[in-house]
Amino acid sequence: MAKPVVGVIGNATMINDRFNVQIVGQRNLRAVADVAGALPLMFAGMPEVTDTDALLDSVDGILLTGARANIHPTCFGVEPDPRHEPYDQSRDAVALPLIKVCVKRGIPVFGICRGFQEMNVAFGGSLHPEIRELPGRMNHRMPRLENGEIHPDPEVVFADRHDVQLTADGVFARILGRDKICVNSLHGQGILQLGERIVVEGVAVDGTIEAISVADAPSFALGVQWHAEYDPQTNPINRALFEAFGAALRTRQQSR
C-alpha cells in the first residue's frame, strides 16, 4: 500500500529582504516521514493559491507547524501591537478555517506550537502575546546568551525544560501511558481563553496550557505547545505522538 500523505503548511518568509518564499522546517518533514510513516507534502499558507477542498481531497491528514510569526490578534478580537510582530495573516486565513473543516470531516490534524495556538483560535479561543508576562508564569521563550542572542547550540535550545502534568485518563495520558512528561519550550504566545470544544490535556508547572484535544472529534485532533517535531526519532514522548498521528493517517487512508 502507498504511504498516506500529510499536508504540511508553509510559512511566509522574506529571503535577502527581496524574495517572498514559503518554507517548512525540515524536522517537520522528517518527523512525518520517519515516525508517522507518511509522505510529507508542503502546501502554501496562501489563501489565493490554496484550495482547501482540493487539498483535503489529496491528503490523509494535516500538520500545522510552528513558525516565527504570531497569529494576528484581530483573529481573536484584540488590537495588534508592533511589539508582537511579525504576523502571517495569509497563513491565518488558510489555517483557521482549515482546522474546522478537518475536524468536521474526520481528517487527522496535528498542531505544533503555532499550530496548537491556531487550533484554539479556530474554535473561538484567545491568546496572550507574551505568556511570561502573566503573574506566576515562567519564561517559555528559547534560551539566550547574556548578550541577548539566541543560544547557538540547538541541543540547548530544544532541550527539555519543564514538566507537563497530563489530564488523568485524557487522550494524551492514554497515548503516552503516563501522567507527567518533560518537554522543550520555545514560544511567546500562549492560550489565554479556551476555544469551544478545546479540551485541556496537559498543563505546565506554572499553569500554562501545553496540550489540547478537540472534543468529539471523529479522528486525531491534537495540539502541543512544545516542538514535538524536533526529536521524535529519539524522544519516546514525541515518537508516541507522531506514531499515533501515523496510525490515524492510515485509518483515514483506508477509508477514502
Q: 10 Å Cβ neighbour count for 193?
A: 12
DSSP letter, residue 222: E
Whether 84 is catalytic is no
Report yes or no: 231 and 30 within 8 Å, Cβ to Cβ: no
Please tell me which residue in 130, 201, 210, 229 is annotated as part of the active site: 229
Please tell me which residue in 84, 140, 187, 227 is annotated as part of the active site: 227
Burial of 6 (0-12, 13-18, 19+ CB in 10 A): buried
Whether 102 is catalytic is no
Residues ≥6 apart with Cβ < 8 Å to 83: 129
Residue 256 to residue 254: CA distance in whole angstroms: 6
Sign of dihedral through CA atoms 110, 114, 116, 118?
Answer: negative
Residue 107 to residue 85: CA distance in whole angstroms: 31
Please tell me which residue in 113, 118, 187, 201 is annotated as part of the active site: 113
The catalytic site residues sit at 113, 227, 229
